[in-house]
Amino acid sequence: MVDKLFRTTLFWATLVFVLTESALVFIIVKFRGKPGDPEPKQVHGNTMVEVIWTAIPALVLAMIAVPTVRTIFRTYEIPTGADVLQVEVIGHQWWWEFRYPQLGLTTANELHVPVGRTVALKMITQDVLHSFWIPQLAGKRDVFPNRSTTLWFKAEEAGDYPGQCAEFCGIQHGRMAFQVIAQTTDEFAGYVSRMEATGAVSPAAPAAPPADSTAAKPAAAAPALTTTTLAATAPAAPDTAAGAQLFMMKGCIGCHSLNATKPMGIGPNLAGIGQRLYIAAGWLKNTDANLANWIQHPQTVKHGVLMPDLGVTPAEAQSLVVYLRQH
């Protein structure tokens, strides 16, 4: 709908441009002054010409306005039904929180969606104005505190679609990006079960199936049990004990949940962080080096973020990276 509207507008704009510029060039050439020409006839006002140059643009604007208003109202009609995937989007300075109310999952900065299924977004912000924009999938829409706006799209091809905050929202506005990962139905189901598994006692290595994904346990209980579970099921897995302990001692746990079924809303939910493409809201590739640097120097890497420099040593950062890679 948006593309069609754009093409309609572009058609009329092109037509107006070509006609106006052709007339202009023709008149400039045809009536140009030559040496020795007499003073041209001086006129003031011409009602007929003025009526024409008012009426034609009014008509052109009406031709653009009618489909534009129709499209605005149409895109605001949020599709409903059991097949529609509902997502709540919460803007934060400077990252995006995504919640799937039907699935009971929360994530950040990376929105996984199934191909061919309509995704309905309900958006709000925690602080200032932001604007949600995925150029390849949907239009741009502002996001406000205390008032929700909506947007919907359907990804027709699997792929990774970059998105960006499009409303100036502070010093790190430019680094408030996100990714939409459109997956086949099977891949999406796999993603959902991996995320659900982070809510169970065992945040097992990605390859291992969730042993028993029963009821969600508090995230605080997870790290202690992690090592035992990992040792039992995957002996080759790296030692995450040091990282697990640091995650609590350095206070990471105070803002970051590692459990996708337990939203916290202060810092980005880190369930699945080990597999994400980017860290720091689309700003850095999710490599071990970048992650370690980010953990040690958040205020240098992305000045102004809520995460303070916590005095993490390089060795501690390495342990935390090893730990987070398993989530």
Q: Interface with ligand CUA by CB under 6 A: which residues?
A: 91, 94, 130, 165, 167-169, 173, 176
Dist. CA 146–CA 2, nearest whole Å: 27
CB of 173 to ligand CUA, least distance (A): 3
Q: Select 149 or 245, whichever has its Cβ closest to ligand CUA.
A: 149
What tokens appear for 25 in the block?
């060039």
How far apart are the two ends of the chain, measured CA to CA in Å? Answer: 39
Dist. CA 166–CA 13, nearest whole Å: 25
What helix, strand, coil percent values describe the chain, rounded to 5?
Answer: 40, 20, 40
Q: Select 100 or 133, whichever has its Cβ closest to ligand CUA.
A: 133
CB of 123 to ligand CUA, least distance (A): 12
Determine contact, residues 206/274, Cβ cutoff 8 Å: yes
Which amino acid would we find at residue 248?
Answer: M
Q: Select 122 or 173, whichever has its Cβ closest to ligand CUA.
A: 173
Q: Select 174 or 209, whichever has its Cβ closest to ligand CUA.
A: 174
SS3 308: coil
Q: Select 5 or 165, whichever has its Cβ closest to ligand CUA.
A: 165
CB of 170 to ligand CUA, least distance (A): 7
CB of 95 to ligand CUA, least distance (A): 9
Determine contact, residues 189/183, Cβ cutoff 8 Å: no
CB of 169 to ligand CUA, least distance (A): 3
